[in-house]
Amino acid sequence: MTRSPKKKSPTKKPGKSPFPSNEDILKFIEEHPERAGKREIARAFKLDAKQKMTLKKVLREMQQTGVLEKDRGKRVRKPETLPPVTVLQITGPDMDGELMARPVTWDSDEPPPKIYMVPANLHSKSPQNLPGTGDRVLAKLTLNDDGTFEARAIRTIAAAPEQVLGIFESVGGQGRVRPTDRRARGEYVIDSRDTLDAKPGDLVRAEPLTGRKLGLRMARIVECIRPDDGVQAPSMIAIADFNLPTRFSDQALRQADAATAAPAKGRDDFRAVPLVTIDGPDARDFDDAVWAEPDSDAKNPGGWHLLVAIADVAWYVRPGDALDTGAYERGNSVYFPDRVVPMLPEVLSNGWCSLVPQEDRPCMVAHIWIDADGCLIRHKFCRGIMRSAARLTYEQVQKARDGHGDEITAPLMATTINPLYGAYSALLKNRNARGVLELDMPERKVQLAPDGSVEAIALRQRLDSHKLIEEFMICANVAAAETLEKAKMPCLYRVHDEPSQEKLAALGEVLSSINISFEKGGVASPKRFNRVLKLAADTPHAEMINVMVLRSQSQALYAPANLGHFGLALRRYCHFTSPIRRYADLLVHRALIDAGGLGEGGSGGAHADLNEAGEHISDTERRAARAERDAVDRFTAAYLADRVGSQFHGRINGVTRFGLFITLDETGADGLVPIRTLPDDYYVHDEDRHSLRGRRHGREYLLGQSVEIRLAEANPVTGGMIFSLLDSQDSGVEPKRAGKKGPPRRGGRTKGAKAKKPKQKTR
């Protein structure tokens, strides 16, 4: 029997996958930024060969319409997003001190997302392996849940140091250079033929070479930096590190040496007026003198007539000459605990331009009349000749005011000191009425022994005599700005813009975490901040709130556009009172000479581009501030180096994802507690609360919290210090219960590096 052949059942073809919509494609790209190419999209949606051709066309159309843009290789991404690996420029620390960056290429009108730099090695002893502000780096990005990014530097693309600044040492008979930069990794080995006769302890510049020895990089010394006075000090490292100009040209020195007394002819004579200078005990140049008397005008009862006399630097430094060129390059004098890098040669700054007692000196004088409430009624400027009645110190004047005069101040009480305090009382009324931002930010002062070692580090006193001089100078600066504005004369203003809404919102979040209200929106004013500072006073959060309010402020700078001065609550303001040490003041003097027809030494059209001059002078001011701060850090580390292992009391001044920054109460020194040294837990950085909180045990570390620490390391070369927290029972940090438990790890994700506590000048 023949069997009929068995029919094969037809093979069932799989159904074709639906083609993804544009929204589906965009969602995939958002969720898979590292593998969003045509191949990956086709694979994810199981597209066949024909659909892949359609996909290619769709992706091209999406690029043409701007929905997508091409990325590295064959990948695509949404505009206004960032690829997983990109080039960034480091922009500096945010309010918390965490190092921020922005993409070098960003075509959107919308602002780029926040990018936090993190150390490449989270377990390193200190987070100094980060690029610095201004550096360009190739970095790998990780998207956070809140839309921000974490970036880990792969390599530095630009601004890599061609030379290394460091201290030369001998280790086992082998030359080494120990870098002064905290971010530098490791030491350099120096061949005996490449030492340039450097001695151990010398500050040197070294040029890295290819090759290694004992695992360390090789280098050769190209310069030994020795100060003229033969004394090695931390300030010399800062001078070299920030490339501060220290030598004047031969032509500038010859010009300064040739200077003589300015003629008294054509100047108003103030030599019979008992003007006095009031400065710190270590001051060497005296550029301002003051005097006051009750206003004799019957229409101004209780009012005052003030004289503020300022050294006439414009007479000696003319636009475009050698002295002017050098002064413009420096921008300002730089003050270290053991020396000064002056803007002008010493023969001028401590000689003809210094209002030394009992010697005739040319000056620019501001006549100022105020009413009983300290309001500025009128003013005029003139050129004069004066003879200082005395060189006084702040402490000396305050003691005299408090009834403890000496042989110098006693004869001046009736004619000078008491009237000065009377005028100050009126100016203080005006200050309070304006609502000036009243930050309480104590500064530390390094006191040196005769041999140059650090004798003590103390907080600077803040006496009424300090405030008196400050108010007189502010009043004179306002008068100068008003005079130039009325004369329609171009002016380099000292501007301090109001805080940005972003910074105000961040501050509001901090304040809400400690139950202090800070209303959102509205016009920002110093009085709003003062209310917060008053609420925080006498609480454990007082110091923290002062720091946070300071960090929320814009940075003061020089510009020809008048934006007002937010911190001082003034509509117009410029710098007139310190032409010996600030080039901006010299420009104002020249403008006043032009405006008033006061003779020789006006601007003459020099530096007509005030935008460029303002930017340059603002940059040199910031450079000087950083150099001064770095030197103080090194002096402080040297002072504490022999106290490693000692216990100190301090407060948390910065909270980052890699640790805590502590300011010591005794010295004001700053140091790091690495997160790996905190009690065993998994710590989460709460950005809103400015805290690190342990998931497992609930232990929490908050900004402003009082802590006890042990000094683990102090490096005088870099100025860096490492602390360790004492256990919570000793430090007063009480564990708090947390709702979530996690694995026992030391260290949560880190988001960025903490720079030193910023000190923004607002005056």
Concatenating the DSSP letter of every residue in 253-303 gives: HHHHHT--PPP-TTSEE-TTS--EEEE-TT-----EEEEEEE---TTSTT-
Task: Evaluate whether residue 275 is within a structural domain.
Answer: yes
pLDDT in tens, 708-754: 999 999 988 888 899 999 864 334 344 443 333 333 333 443 333 33
Give residue-wise pLDDT tens across range 366-414. 999 999 999 999 999 999 999 999 999 999 999 999 999 999 999 999 9
- Residue-level pLDDT at 34: 59
| Mean predicted confidence (pLDDT) in 267-290 | 95
User: Would you say 374 and 427 are in contact if contact means Cβ atoms under 8 Å apart?
Assistant: yes
pLDDT tier at 127, thresholds 50, 70, 90? very low
Residue pair 331/621 in contact (Cβ under 8 Å)? The answer is: yes
Output the pLDDT for position 73. 54
CA angle 751, 754, 759 (to 5 degrees): 140
Q: Are residues 542 and 570 in the same domain?
A: no
Averaged pLDDT, 529-537: 90
Of all residues in the chain, what percent carry a pLDDT higher than 90?
47
Q: What is the mean pLDDT of residues 252-273?
A: 96
SS3 528: helix
Residue 65 — very low, low, confident or very high, per pLDDT cuts 50/70/90?
low
The pLDDT, as a whole number, for residue 147 is 77
Please tell me the predicted confidence (pLDDT) of residue 736.
Answer: 41
pLDDT (0 to 100) of residue 15: 58
Q: Are 42 and 55 in contact (CB under 8 A)?
A: yes
Mean of the pLDDT values across residues 460-478? 95
Kindly state the DSSP code that residue 755 receives in the 8-state scheme.
P
Structural domain span for residue 215:
164-226
pLDDT of residue 752: 35
pLDDT single digits (tens) 645-696: 999 999 888 888 889 999 998 888 899 999 889 988 888 888 777 789 888 8
Please check whether residues 524 and 476 belong to one and the same domain: no
Indicate the DSSP class of residue 170: E
Instruction: Give pLDDT, residue 10.
Output: 45
Name the burial class of residue 439, with classes exposed (0-12), middle (13-18) and buried (19+) by CB atoms within 10 angstroms of its CB: middle
pLDDT for position 605: 64
Q: Which residues of 377-404 are buried (b: 16+ CB within 10 A; e: fewer)?
A: eebebebbbbbbbbbbbbebbbbbbeee
Residues 466 and 505 in one domain: no
| Eight-state DSSP code of residue 357 | B
Q: Which amino acid is at 267?
A: R
265 shares its domain with 189: no
Q: Is the pLDDT of residue 479 over 80?
A: yes
Confidence of residue 477 (pLDDT cuts 50, 70, 90): very high
709-726: buried (b, 16+ CB within 10 Å) or exposed (e) per residue?
A: bbbbbbbbbbbbbbbebb
Question: Is 650 a domain residue?
Answer: no
Q: Do 452 and 517 lie in a common domain?
A: no
180 and 211 co-located in one domain: yes
Q: In the predicted model, what is the mean pLDDT of residues 432-438?
A: 94
pLDDT score at 185:
67
Coil, helix or strand at residue 679: coil
Q: Is residue 680 part of a domain?
A: no
Average per-residue pLDDT for the chain: 84
| In contact, 384 and 363? CB cutoff 8 Å | yes
418 within domain boundaries: yes
Going by pLDDT thresholds of 50, 70 and 90, the confidence category of residue 228 is low
Ranges 4-13, 466-475, 610-619: which has the least confidence: 4-13
| pLDDT value, residue 352 | 95
Looking at the fold, whether 254 and 298 belong to one and the same domain comes out as yes
Per-residue pLDDT band at 123 (split at 50, 70, 90): very low
Label residue 125 by pLDDT band (50, 70, 90). very low
Q: What is the pLDDT of residue 50?
A: 81
Cα 65 from Cα 8, distance rounded (Å): 51
β pairing state of 149-158 and 136-143: antiparallel
Average pLDDT of the residues in 425-440: 95
Domain stop point among 31, 57, 77: 77
DSSP string for 437-462: -------EEEEE-TTSSEEEEEEPP-
Higher-pLDDT residue of 736 and 563 is 563
Closest CA to 474 of 573, 563, 571: 573
The answer, yes or no, to whether residue 633 has pLDDT greater than 80, is yes
Q: Answer yes or no: is 142 within a domain.
A: no
Residue pLDDT, tens place only, 582-624? 999 999 999 999 999 999 999 876 656 899 999 999 999 999 9
What would the 3-class secondary structure string for 9-22 be?
A: CCCCCCCCCCCCCH
Instruction: Give me the number of domains the chain comprises.
Output: 4
Handedness of CA 547, 551, 557, 559 (dihedral sign): negative
**641, exposed or middle or buried, with CB in 10 Å at 0-12, 13-18, 19+?**
middle
Does position 532 have pLDDT exceeding 60, yes or no? yes
**What's at 189, amino acid-wise?**
V
Sheet holding 360-370, edge to edge: 268-269, 376-387, 360-370, 304-311, 288-294, 276-279, 390-393
Q: Where is pLDDT greater, at 8 or 592?
A: 592
Q: What is the mean pLDDT of residues 344-354?
A: 95
Kindly state whether residue 522 falls inside one of the protein's structural domains: yes
Would you say 149 and 82 are in contact if contact means Cβ atoms under 8 Å apart? yes
CA–chain centroid gap for 411, Å, is 43
Same domain, 520 and 391: no
DSSP letter, residue 168: E
Rounded to 5 degrees, φ, ψ at 634 are -70, -40
Cα 273 to Cα 18, 135, 355, 472, 583: the distances in Å are 95, 55, 14, 17, 28
Same domain, 480 and 432: yes
In a domain, 649, yes or no: no
- Tell me the C-alpha distance between 474 and 573, whole Å: 8
* Most confident range, picked from 14-23, 53-62, 449-458: 449-458
474 & 586 share domain: yes
Q: Of 161-175, 206-220, 252-266, 331-345, which gets the smallest average pLDDT?
A: 206-220
DSSP 157: E
Domain of residue 201, CATH code: 2.40.50.690
Cβ within 8 Å of residue 710, ≥6 positions away: 645, 646, 647, 648, 723, 724, 725, 726
What is the arithmetic mean of pLDDT over 290-297? 97
- Residue 602: closest CA among 612, 615, 593, 614: 593
In a domain, 736, yes or no: no
Asked whether residue 203 falls in the same domain as residue 330, the answer is no
Final residue belonging to a domain, choices 551, 569, 590: 551
Of 603, 632, 661, which residue is a domain's last? 632
CATH number at residue 56: 1.10.10
pLDDT at site 89: 84
> pTM, whole model, 2 decimals?
0.75
Shared-domain flag, residues 534 and 385 = no
Average pLDDT over residues 177-185: 80
**Residue 12 pLDDT > 60, yes or no?**
no
Burial of 50 from C-beta contacts in 10 A (0-12 / 13-18 / 19+): exposed
